[in-house]
Structure 1
Amino acid sequence: MTAEARPWTAPLAQGPVAATVRLPGSKSMTARALVLSALADGPSRIQRPLRARDTTLMADGLRALGTAIDTSGPDAWAIEPRPLRGPATVDVGLAGTVMRFAPPVAALADGTVTFDGDPHARNRPLRPIVEALRSLGADIDASPSGGLPLVVRGTGALEGGTAVIDASGSSQFVSGLLLSAARCTKGLVLRHDGPPVPSAPHLRMTTHMLRAAGAVVDDSAPDVWTVEPGPLSGQSWQIEPDLSGAAPFFAAAVVTGGTVTLAGWPRDSWQPVGVLGGLLTELGADVSQGDDGLTVRGTGRLKGIDADLSEVSELTPVVAALAALAGSPSSLHGVAHIRGHETDRIAALARELDKVGAGVVEHPDGLDITPGPLRAATFETYADHRMAHAAAVIGLAVEGITLTDVACTSKTLPEFPELWAGLVTGG
């Protein structure tokens, strides 16, 4: 069930923010750790996981397939692999990770597994992973569009082998297949054929975590991934703070000329911290890594940028909000695939930024944004947590920005409204 809509007026900054923020773990890492733990030969622990709607749905889905998952601990979850079996029903909510990572697991199970989710989830692209699974021996029924609802009829094993996929719509198509590949009888040779795969850092996270679990992975050839069949070992997964979730907090430092430190940030990360740091620097911030974490300092100059965001498309809404507040025009491109995210993010951003007074030109793969005198408005969030983040960032500098629903931030950060208000007001 989706949360009841909660209208919310974004707080206006009264001066430079100054805060150290402690955020929950990465959604992407938590989701991958859950899947790899469910497929392992022994128990695992996930340290500092993200406890939010997407990751709870992933845990619930794996539980429905038979995995024992104890999420009662405040700082760690315990996973005990069990034989995967149906019948089962999996609610994917609006989570791309669940709808792309769990069906390959279900194809390894013995029994029938049904997948469905929120109404808009039926519009999110899924056909490439369905067709790839069929080519690998899975028995799947899908909607006429190739997406949800899905029915996977598992026999307790999946042959695997070679598959060709167009993953230009989402890197999750590749990650979902790779995460389960070692458990296939023949492993997997997966080849991408199409326009570039977006969000490449997420693919590197997948292969890093597979190797950490003991899988033999070869990704040396461009657009080809080979995973050999074999066991996966239980792990103690250390989940990093969520970089995408940190973006609006860092943006607050840029907008207000303040300082925000993300505590607990590791010096060696599996997330694309270098790309985010480069973007924030171009926009006019100083970014530094210290023993206390990752720090962003606003310089009082917010500059427009020309940026290819294909590797960090999750950041597009927050970067677009910063562009609307900048002192010169921006061009954001390389993100055609985010039209298939929680909402069509390009179209949604064009509508809402125009509503608050920015000049916006929508392109198939991005936006041109010209700052203008911004005004109070009701900002539609489209049940999309990243749209809510964008509205909150604009609300730092523009009084009267009201979000139609801030409850959608529970998808990845239930504490967002309280954390944000504390950051802005110093409370």
Structure 2
Amino acid sequence: MTIFHVPGSKSVTARALFLAAAARGTTVLRRPLVSDDTEGFAEGLLALGYRVERGPEAWTIIGRPEGPAYGEAEVFCRDGATTARFLPALAAAGHGVFRFDASAQMRRRPLGPLTRALRDLGVDLTHEGEEGHHPVTVRANGIKGGRITLDAGLSSQFLTALLLVGPLTAEGLEITVTDLVSAPYVEITLAMMRSFGVEVRREGETFHVPPGGYRAADHTIEPDASTASYPLAAAALTGNTVTIPGLGSKALQGDVRFADVLARMGASVDMSPDSVTVTGTGRLHGLTVNMRDISDTVPTLSAIAPFADGPVRIEDVYNTRIKECDRLEACAGNLRRLGVPVAVGRDWIEITPAPPRAAEIACHGDHRIAMSFSIMELRTPGITLDDQGCVKKTFPGFHEALAGLRQAWGIARPEGAA
């Protein structure tokens, strides 16, 4: 059995940073993810005037329930969707003029449902370029609160941003959701709000968020369940065993359910409250699976699908088209490069098993494409990436960690490999 230590959750770290900044008192975040996305979020808080101290094992944040310390600021959100969507909502609850911009990749991703909701709440907000996209300027004067309707069918982050800012409003929020994707991420938000002293009441599709603010906390970040999908898939693919400590049935993150998908494919899965172990059995079965709620693991399943004994069809994942890249097309294009038959529709992909051939993977600057197809190389020597460095977004040490798995399992590196 091989122990694989997965870095902290990006989703949990981002929410914790927002909550810590909004809370009264000093919050300590233990074992946060240190990556380009989370460093970008922390830098955004610093640009707004929050006090953030980053140590090797813990980050300390002094909260400001009244909002940013500076009356004017510019924030560059890099590629981070949580940074680009959560921080404008946080700033809107304060007072001042705050401009947010992002990378070209992030500028292409939607912001409109969130900004429409904030405008419905009376926030003065303007898009400088294309409506519903960065850059955006918020002229903040606090948020009164009230009732709003939100379409979160493109990203659950729009709902999370509003839930997080709700306790900072004068009257609280009543949010009715007409559509919602990646619902488990909202459960993460609600659980973390609870740990910072706020209980959200849900009635059907309506969320009732009370005013009153947050209290500081000492919070330990659990490992990233989306990132855990790579070593788990690697074990299932190669017939080895891997254990992820700190991530099990008690995990906040819904992506831990990727282990259930591997079990359906024939892998042996043992999940305790605090760990998950996957053992490859030498065979992967084809299946049809709805991955709407765990869509960040779609590339992982796509990368091991060619080795199954029957077709693998992934359904109800339209939102993967508006991630760091169009992940459905990226997976389909790369599989075709590898000689694997694939069909793709608006919200589905179907992969027909075939022995992949060596080829260079087009990462499209997307960390999840890079990490997923790196797993395939354990069975198909000669697969390379056109952008190894994009993994820094969530797992800067990924390639070294994968090399450690290869060594532990006695899988030889192909000649000439870096």
Normalising by structure 2, we get a TM-score of 0.94
Alpha-carbon displacement from aligned partner over 1:83-106 (angstroms, at most 9, x marks no partner): 513311111111111111111001
Write the distance in 2 (CA, Å) between the matches of 1:291 and 1:390: 26
- Which has the larger displacement, 271-280 or 205-214? 271-280
Task: Return 261-270 or 312-321, whichever deviates more.
Answer: 261-270
3-state SS of paired residue (1:147): coil
C-alpha separation in 1, matches of 2:291 and 2:237: 20
Q: 2:408 matched to 1:423?
A: no
Matches within 5 A, 1:3-42: 18-42=1-25
> Match for 1:53: what amino acid?
D
Name the aligned partner's letter for residue 149 of structure 2: V
2:180 aligned with 1:200:
no
Q: What residue identity is the alignment partner of 1:256? A: T
Partners of 1:291 and 1:240 lie apart in 2 by: 12
**Pair 415,170 (structure 1): closer, same or farther in 2 beyond 3 Å:** same
User: What residue in structure 1 maps to residue 194 of structure 2?
Assistant: 211
**Equivalent of 1:280, from 262, 284, 287?**
262
User: Which one of 322, 335, 355 corresponds to residue 353 of structure 1?
Assistant: 335
Contact map agreement 2:250 2:273 (CA 8 A) in 1: no
C-alpha deviation, 1:348, in angstroms: 0.9
The CA deviation at 1:363 is 0.8
Tell me how far apart the structure 2 counterparts of residues 217 and 363 of structure 1 sit (CA, whole Å). 37
Identify the match of residue 175 of structure 2 among 190, 197, 218.
Answer: 190
Inter-partner Cα distance in structure 1 for 2:260 and 2:272: 17
Query: Which gives a bigger RCO, structure 1 or 2 (Cα 8 Å, sep 6+)?
Result: 1
1:106 aligns with 2:88: no
Q: Is the 8 A contact 2:370 2:385 kept in 1?
A: yes
Q: Residues 198 and 337 of structure 1 are in contact (CA less than 8 Å); yes or no, is this contact kept in structure 2?
A: yes
Q: Which whole-Å CA distance do the structure 1 matches of 2:247 and 2:350 have between them?
A: 32
CA distance in 1, matches of 2:286, 2:212: 49
Aligned residue number for residue 136 of structure 1: 121
Range with greater deviation from structure 2 (28-37 or 59-68): 59-68
Q: Which runs of 5+ in 2 are unaligned?
A: 411-418
Contact preservation (8 Å) 2:225, 2:256? no
- AA of the residue aligned to 1:59: A
Q: Which residue of 1 aligns with 2:415?
A: none
> Is 1:146 aligned with 2:128?
no
Aligned residue identity for 1:188: L
Structure 1 Cα separation of the partners of residues 80 and 228 of structure 2: 19
Write the letter of the residue equivalent to 1:22.
Answer: H
Distance 2:271 2:321 in 1: 33
What is the CA deviation profile of residues 302-341 of structure 1, one whole-angstrom value per residue up to 9, with x for unaligned ones? Answer: 1111000001000000011111221210110111011110
Q: Counterpart of 1:182 in structure 2: which amino acid? A: P
Report the Cα offset of residue 424 of structure 1: 1.1
Question: What stretches of structure 1 move > 6 A for 4+ residues in a row?
Answer: none
Distance in 2 between residues matched to 1:274 and 1:267, nearest whole Å = 8
Shift of 1:51: 0.5
Query: 1:158: Cα distance to partner?
Result: 1.1
Paired position in structure 1 for 2:210: 228
Contact (CA 8 Å) 1:325, 1:394: kept in 2 or not? no
Deviations 1:100-129 (A, max 9, x none): 111100101221111111111111011000
Corresponding residue SS for 1:153: strand
87, 95, 99: which is aligned to 2:80?
95
Following the alignment from structure 1 to structure 2, what is the Cα–Cα distance between the partners of residues 34 and 266? 23
- C-alpha RMSD of matched pairs (Å): 1.4
- What whole-Å deviation, never above 9, does each CA across 1:171-221 have from its counterpart, x for those lacking one? 001001111110011111111124xx11111000101111111113112x2
Structure 1 runs not aligned, ≥5 long: 1-17
Q: How many residues align?
A: 405
Alignment partner of 1:56 out of 39, 42, 48: 39
